[in-house]
Amino acid sequence: MDIKIKVNGTLICESVSPDLLLLDFLRKHGCYSVKRGCETANCGLCTVLLDGTPVLSCSVLCARADGHEVYTLEGLQEEASGFVGFIADQGADQCGFCNPGFVMNTIALLRENPDPSDDEIRAYLAGNLCRCSGYEGQLRGIRNYLDYINRKKQGKE
């Protein structure tokens, strides 16, 4: 079947098999931040933004993305660069394997809610498994980033 998907701002037109997963399509097109983890839609490593909404690309058929826009971390580096250092400062990126999923969900969260509570942050990050850090470092990093942004807005930075 023929599909057209806009990936990180670039339109890709291709013939694909009906059972091709979005994850495999994206990796074929150089989006290596999209990782294969559990293959059961439980770990969040394959999170991408489909029309701005975080989805697990391991559970979305490529055909379902036909005519839509997909963003991976490769296409959102500039937006992500604002807060990833804050997460790293908390030691929350120990092995780094889960980072792309966390970053994609954080981008979606901050687009939807620029001033989330800690519980709202936890809810957005709940679908990402991390074997190294215990999640509190990610929460602290995001909270520190939001505090920094608020201080900047008030002219205190």
Looking at the structure, tell me whether residues 25 and 56 fall in a common domain. Answer: yes
Residue ending a domain, choose from 14, 40, 74: 74
Looking at the structure, tell me whether residues 52 and 115 fall in a common domain. Answer: no
pLDDT at site 43: 84
Q: List, for the chain, all residue ranges whose pLDDT scores fall below the cut of 50.
A: none
Looking at the structure, tell me whether residues 87 and 49 fall in a common domain. Answer: no
- The CATH number covering residue 127 comes to 1.10.150.120
Residue ending a domain, choose from 39, 74, 109: 74
pLDDT at site 157: 66
Pairing of strands 53-56, 69-71: unpaired
How far apart (Å, rounded) are the C-alpha atoms in residues 68 and 40?
23
29, 21, 73, 140 alpha-carbon torsion, rounded to 10°: -160
pLDDT at site 76: 95
Looking at the structure, tell me whether residues 69 and 80 fall in a common domain. Answer: no
pLDDT at site 132: 74
What domain count does the chain have?
2
Looking at the structure, tell me whether residues 35 and 96 fall in a common domain. Answer: no
Looking at the structure, tell me whether residues 126 and 84 fall in a common domain. Answer: yes
Looking at the structure, tell me whether residues 80 and 149 fall in a common domain. Answer: yes
pLDDT at site 96: 73
Burial class (CB in 10 A: 0-12, 13-18, 19+), 30: exposed
- The CATH number covering residue 54 comes to 3.10.20.30
Which domain does 14 fall in, by range? 2-74
pLDDT at site 136: 82
Looking at the structure, tell me whether residues 81 and 46 fall in a common domain. Answer: no
pLDDT at site 63: 96
Looking at the structure, tell me whether residues 38 and 84 fall in a common domain. Answer: no
DSSP code of 64? G
Looking at the structure, tell me whether residues 113 and 146 fall in a common domain. Answer: yes
Looking at the structure, tell me whether residues 82 and 69 fall in a common domain. Answer: no
Residue ending a domain, choose from 74, 94, 116: 74
